Amino acid sequence: MKPNIWRRFYYWLDERIQFEDLIRFAAKKYVPVHSHSLWYYFGGVTLFLFIIQVVTGILLLLYYKGNEDLAFESIRYIMTEVEFGWLIRSIHSWSANLMILAAFIHMFSVFFTKAYRKPREITWLTGMVMLFLALGFGFSGYLLPWNELAFFATKVGTDIVGVIPLIGKPIQIFLRGGEDVTGATLSRFFGFHVAILPGIFTIFLFIHLLLVQRQGMSLPMEIVPEKAMKTMPFFPNFLLRDLLLWLIVLNILAILAVLYPWELGVKADPFAPAPAGIKPEWYFMFMFQTLKYIPAHIWIFDGEVVGVLLFIIAGVLWTLIPFWDKKTARGEKNLLINYLGLFCILYIILLTILGYLS
Amino acid sequence: MNKFKILDSLIKLIFYLTLVIGMFFENNLAQNTTDFCLKCHKANGDKAAVMFTKDIHYEMGVSCADCHGGDQSKSNMGEAMSEKNNFIGVPKGNRISELCSQCHSDEYQNLINSVHGKLTIKGDQIITQCITCHGIHNILRKEDKNSNVNALNVAKICAGCHSNIAYIKKYNPELPTDQYEKYLTSKHGILNSKKDPKAASCVSCHGSHEIRNVNDVKSKVYASNLPEVCSVCHSDSQYMKDYKIPTDQYDKYIGSVHGIALLKKGDLAAPSCNDCHGNHGAAPPGVESISKVCGICHALNAELFAKSPHKKAFDTLNKPECETCHGNHEIIVGTDQLIGNTKGTICYQCHNENQNVEGFIVAGKMRAILDSLVKLEETTVKLITDAEQKGMEVSEAKFKLRDIRQAKLETRTIIHAFNFDTFEKTSNNALSLIYDVKSLGEKAVNEYYFRRWGLLAATAIISVLAITLFIYIKKLEKKSNGK
């Protein structure tokens, strides 16, 4: 029987690209099935939301103008005049937040299942870098509508950066494009948001995904690998399950974007006094709130400087955990790490709630 | 005990006797002391000395030496006018008013805080000393008809400087110099010329020693203080009874649109009494000039009215133009209820079923259009609010609501042309603006429902896809488990 047109097209492509090798590789890939398998999906969800960010971001770029005088008006134009512009903008904003939430869940799941241990230290490092980049995406994107809240939140945010000893001031001036938050800051943040950060992010994403594919899924420490351990083929079973979750996330995203459209607010006026109730994005809230609780002076040091330095040290230590958690590296149970992770989660949740209540 | 009582009584007696004798001698000495300054200067025919004998200060026992220094009791001129006796001669510059302040401290304090006490050219002395207005050596009680500052004379005294162009230019080049001229033409000035002391003169409105710049909020003639200053006389029915004019202007004014704007809202652009009546040339505007007065601010309305058919009719009937419909002191906010062809409307006073019927019909049509404008605007605002509450972006529509308000204002203004075609054209413009914004509101509300239905369809499709995928996965897993 003569093969149908699709088959023939496949053969034609295969002759040139050698698909068979890839399929053979995929067919050999298995994902372990156990009580913690659910956490495997959050990396995929983060990736899916990132893809949505890229697609909606490109669409917004068709109309957005990264200029002090036009930014706010261009977003309003997108929301009122452009067909489905409101939806694209709302999805972009909601998806950004969900992506950071998914990234946090993914990071903590990797942390608690100790998946950062040898041989996946680089995977963890690339993941952490991507998380910081995602926060950078959030911070830079927040300013782009050039509305009042974003303007003053950026002012406060970059003020905090400025307190870091020695390097703080130069970084602040670099971020702001001058002494104050102005149109130059907007142009800069726009550049970071649509060119620099995506470029760097893509490199790390490529390495991260490559390593995940090469090393496969990590087994939690408490699960002892057995010969007869239940597994599922990566292709198509795991991929289809991933797809199913993506559809559910897409549904949630659509509901949020339509029922709770992202507001535009009031255009920023650099000469106006700061409005009451300036708050950063929720993922920065715990840090912001902590800085509020720290006294003005701790011994001979400035309280804010101490706070910022503590967060930097904590971030560095967290990122380098595969290298100092020797017990886990030796394959031993390290409850201290679990308690540390639990403390961090509770701290973040509590301070975020307090931040919104205050 | 008795000894002490006697001694006590004796001491008391000596004390009182000393006191009485002392007082007797002091009075006697004062009466008998000769004022040699006055005596000699009078004998020499010195004008100042002769004039001083009629001065209020002489009457009150003030001597030459009290102002010029020296010792009036010394008959020797050298001794009387010696430095040892603090002789200062003719006081100069600010020393003059400072000497007056020894007795008249309150007046002096007011003077140095006033515009006259602050303005100076060289900085060595204030521009107005006490003697500038009150005179020297011939100062009389202000009630005296010959006094410089008597109600009938004070305007001339003020004019001495204020009508002197060269003099005023040196201190305040912006200040007009025709106040006195205008005053003479005003009702107040005319009565004053007829020797009516009750008629307002400069000091009645500006105050005397405490005169401040008109832009000074403490000035009596500052825009928002002026109505009360006028009301001091004009609301006093006893004071005004000879003039046979009403005394309720102030009460009406404070409840009027102008009074509320100026006195309650602090809008200094709102007219005070002087804006309509004039200030120095204050007089009630006549039938002929009333629209000119109102037209200073309401220029467009006045221009439209001047070209309208009502102009001729009002002139023929000798009716004041703006006042006939809007009143004068009690002008209320112009509402649509003023126009129309029903009882209670202003138009109905002249246009009814039996007289001036054409105007009666037009007034009815105009009112109907105005009512429909208001109603449509209300509906549109509700629609936009509804869309906004539904979370829709309606900032453009909200911005255009301002245009509607402007167009509505233009429609109300064009009424003053009393021409239906012009009115209809303007109102159509307002209507079309309202319809534009209304359609934006409707679009926003429709969009809201479209989004809801779109979401329902999208979630339904995604859910079906997800369920199908789930069933497929289950089937696939069952198949692979079976293997």
Q: Does A255 contact B455 at a Cβ distance shorter than 8 Å?
A: yes
Q: Which candidate in A33, A73, A245, A247 is best for mutational testing of the B interface (most B CBs within 10 A)?
A: A247
Q: Which residues of B touch A254 (CB under 8 A)?
A: 455, 458-459, 462
Query: Tokens standing for B414?
Result: 């064009």
Q: Does A247 contact B462 at a Cβ distance shorter than 8 Å?
A: yes
Residue among A232, A248, A254 whose CB faces B455 most closely: A254
Among chain A residues, CA nearest to B468: A244
Q: Does B473 touch chain A (CB under 8 A)?
A: yes
- Phi/psi of residue B206, each to 5°? -90, -15
Among chain B residues, CA nearest to A238: B473
CA distance B396 to chain A (A): 9
Q: Does A247 touch chain B (CB under 8 A)?
A: yes
> pLDDT value at position B482?
62
Cβ pair B297, B271 in contact under 8 A: yes
**Which positions 382-401 of B are in contact with A (Cβ < 8 Å)?**
391, 393, 395-396
pLDDT digits (tens, 9 = 90+) for B316-355: 888 888 888 888 898 877 788 889 989 889 899 889 888 8
Q: Does A243 contact B395 at a Cβ distance shorter than 8 Å?
A: no
Neighbours of A159 (CB within 10 A): 14
Distance CA B210, CA B219 (A): 8
Q: Which candidate in A37, A80, A81, A87 is best for mutational testing of the B interface (most B CBs within 10 A)?
A: A80
Q: Which residues of A touch B473 (CB under 8 A)?
A: 237, 240-241, 244
Among chain B residues, CA nearest to A79: B393
Q: Which positions ≥6 away from B477 have C-beta within 8 Å?
A: A232, A237
Distance CA B158, CA B205 (A): 13
Q: Does A258 touch chain B (CB under 8 A)?
A: yes
User: How many residues does the structure list for chain A?
Assistant: 358
Inter-CA distances, A59 with A48, A82, A193, A332, B95, Å: 17, 11, 14, 49, 84
CA distance A305 to chain B (A): 41
Residue among A76, A241, A251 whose CB faces B462 most closely: A251
Query: Tokens standing for A152?
Result: 């003053």
Domains in chain A, CATH or no CATH each: 26-271 (1.20.810.10)
Distance CA B56, CA A305 (A): 80
* Residue bearing tokens 């309401």: B298
Report strand pairing: A30-32 vs A231-233: antiparallel
> pLDDT value at position B29?
45
The rounded Cα B192 to chain-centroid distance in angstroms is 24
CA distance B478 to chain A (A): 11
Q: Does B458 touch chain A (CB under 8 A)?
A: yes
Please report, for chain B, the start and end positions of each structural domain, with discontinuous segments joined by +: 349-482
Cβ pair A244, B470 in contact under 8 A: yes
Q: Does B477 touch chain A (CB under 8 A)?
A: yes
Q: Does B461 touch chain A (CB under 8 A)?
A: no
The rounded Cα B176 to chain-centroid distance in angstroms is 19
Q: Which residues of B touch A231 (CB under 8 A)?
A: none
Q: Which candidate in B389, B469, B475, B481 is best for mutational testing of the A interface (most A CBs within 10 A)?
A: B469
Q: Does B480 contact A264 at a Cβ distance shorter than 8 Å?
A: no
Q: Does B467 touch chain A (CB under 8 A)?
A: no
Give the CA angle between residues A119, A216, A124 to the nearest 5°: 45
**Which positions 45-84 of A are in contact with B (Cβ < 8 Å)?**
76, 79-80
Q: Does B300 touch chain A (CB under 8 A)?
A: no
Q: Which has the closest alpha carbon to A284: A53, A97, A57?
A: A97
> pLDDT value at position B20?
56
Among chain B residues, CA nearest to A264: B393
Q: Which residues of A touch B462 (CB under 8 A)?
A: 247, 250-251, 254
Q: What is the pTM of this model?
A: 0.67
Q: Which residues of B touch A261 (CB under 8 A)?
A: 391
> pLDDT value at position B22?
54
Q: Does B460 touch chain A (CB under 8 A)?
A: no
| DSSP β-bridge partners for residue A267 | A147
Cβ pair A309, A316 in contact under 8 A: no
Instruction: Please report the ipTM that was assigned to this predicted complex.
Output: 0.86
Among chain B residues, CA nearest to A84: B451
Q: Does B480 touch chain A (CB under 8 A)?
A: yes
CA distance A243 to chain B (A): 8
List chain B residues with pLDDT less than 50. Answer: 1, 25-32
Q: Which residues of B touch A86 (CB under 8 A)?
A: 393
Q: Which positions ≥6 away from A155 have C-beta within 8 Å?
A: A180, A181, A274
Return the number of CB contacts < 8 Å for A and B.
Answer: 51
Residue among B391, B395, B462 whose CB faces A261 most closely: B391
> pLDDT value at position B183?
94
Give average pLDDT by consecutive 10-residue segment, chain A, 358 residues.
83 85 82 88 96 97 95 93 94 97 97 93 97 96 94 93 92 95 95 96 96 89 74 88 96 95 89 84 94 89 91 96 92 91 97 93
Q: Which candidate in B396, B462, B465, B481 is best for mutational testing of the A interface (most A CBs within 10 A)?
A: B462
- With a pLDDT cut of 70, the percent of chain B lying above it is 94
CA distance A82 to chain B (A): 12
Q: Which residues of B touch A255 (CB under 8 A)?
A: 455, 459
Q: Does B470 touch chain A (CB under 8 A)?
A: yes
Distance CA A83, CA B107 (A): 77
- Give me the helices (H) in B2-72, please: 2-32, 36-43, 47-52, 56-59, 64-68
Q: Which residues of A touch B396 (CB under 8 A)?
A: 76, 80
Give the CA angle between residues A285, A286, A288 to the nearest 5°: 60
> pLDDT value at position B448?
93
CA distance B383 to chain A (A): 17
